[in-house]
Amino acid sequence: MKFGRPRITLKLKIQLFIKSLLLTAVVCFSFNVSAQTLSITNGVQIYYALTNTTVTMAGRSELRLTTTNNPIPDCTINLTSADAWVLLPSIRPSIVSNYLSQFQVNGAAAVYSSDIRVVEYAMGTVVIPHSPNITPLQIFAGPNFLGISTNFGLYTYYNTSAALGVFNQNIRSFRPKRGYMAALAQNSNGTGASQVFVAQDADLDVGFLSANVNQSIAFVRVFPWRWTAKKGWGGSTFISMTAALWWYDWGNSPNSAEESAASSPLDRE
C-alpha cells in the first residue's frame, strides 16, 4: 500500500501556501508603515526614536528624541521656523553631525554653520535652524517694548554713536531670542554698571531696566548661548580622554567651537 506519500505532499503544499500568505501579509504591513508623516506646529512632542518618517516642524515647536543610538533612521526633518528645534538629550554633537544630511531648513538641505546650529545641550545636543547672521536681540527706545526698535547681531561691538545710532544711551527695553545672551554696560568700553541677560529656555522679555542702566547703556554685545553641563577639564590636552563637556585654558583658543565642548579663557590677572 502506497497511500501515505500523496498526503505528505499535500500537507507540504498547504504549509508552503500558508507561509506564502504570511510573507505577503508581512511585506504589505511593512510597506504600509514604511512611509509616515509627522507635522508639529507649536508645542513639544517626545519620542524614543523615529523611523521612515517625514517630519515637518513649524511655529514654536520642539521634537525630543530620547534614544542613545540613531534617532532618525530613514527620516527627513524639515524645520520651517526659526523656533522649531530638535533636542537629542542623550547623543553628543559630534555624533549628531552625522545625521545632518537628513535635516532641511525651509525645504532645502541644511548646511552646518550656514543655516543650522548643532549645539551642546548638557549631555546631549540641540539642533537649531539659525544662521550666523541672525539678529537675535531686539531693542526698544521705550519701556515695555514701545517706541522705535531695531535688531542687533552676534559678536559685534555696539559701543559707538555710529553703531548704536539713536539708541546710544536710549535703550529702555529689549527681547533676546531663546538660545542667546546679551551683555549691556553703561560705558562704551564695557565698564560701569552692567548686566548680562540669558534667554536659556525661552525668548526673554525685559520690559523695564534697573535705574542704573535705564537710558544709560553705551555698550551692547550679543553671543550664542550654550547649555553646558558640569563635567569640565582644565587645559585642552586630555579632553577626549576625559570626555569633558567644557574646558578652560590660558587665553582664547581659536578651537573653541560650539559643537563638541565649550571653552572658557582663563584670565591670568
Q: Classify residue 184 by burial, with Cβ atoms within 10 Å: 0-12, 13-18, 19+.
A: buried
- The H-assigned helical ranges of the chain are 4-34, 93-96, 161-164, 239-242
**Which one has a higher pLDDT value, 255 or 105?**
105
Q: Classify residue 232 by burial, with Cβ atoms within 10 Å: 0-12, 13-18, 19+.
A: middle
**Res. 116: pLDDT tops 80:** yes
- The H-assigned helical ranges of 35-180 are 93-96, 161-164
Indicate the pTM of the whole model: 0.78
* Lowest mean pLDDT across 98-107, 205-214, 236-245, 250-259: 250-259
pLDDT band at 32 (very low <50, low <70, confident <90, very high): very low
pLDDT band at 230 (very low <50, low <70, confident <90, very high): confident
Place of cell 503544499: 13
- The H-assigned helical ranges of 35-125 are 93-96
> CA-CA distance, 131 to 82, in Å (whole number)?
10
* Lowest mean pLDDT across 8-22, 133-147, 181-195: 8-22
The tens digit of pLDDT for each residue in 186-202 reads 999 999 999 999 999 99
Position 232 scores a pLDDT of: 73
> CA-CA distance, 258 to 256, in Å (whole number)?
6
- For the chain, give percent helix, strand, coil, nearest 5: 20, 35, 45
**Res. 44: pLDDT tops 60:** yes
Q: What angle do CA 37, 41, 45 make, to 5 degrees?
A: 75
pLDDT band at 137 (very low <50, low <70, confident <90, very high): very high
**Res. 54: pLDDT tops 70:** yes
- Region of 251 please: left (phi>0), alpha (psi -120 to 50) or beta: left
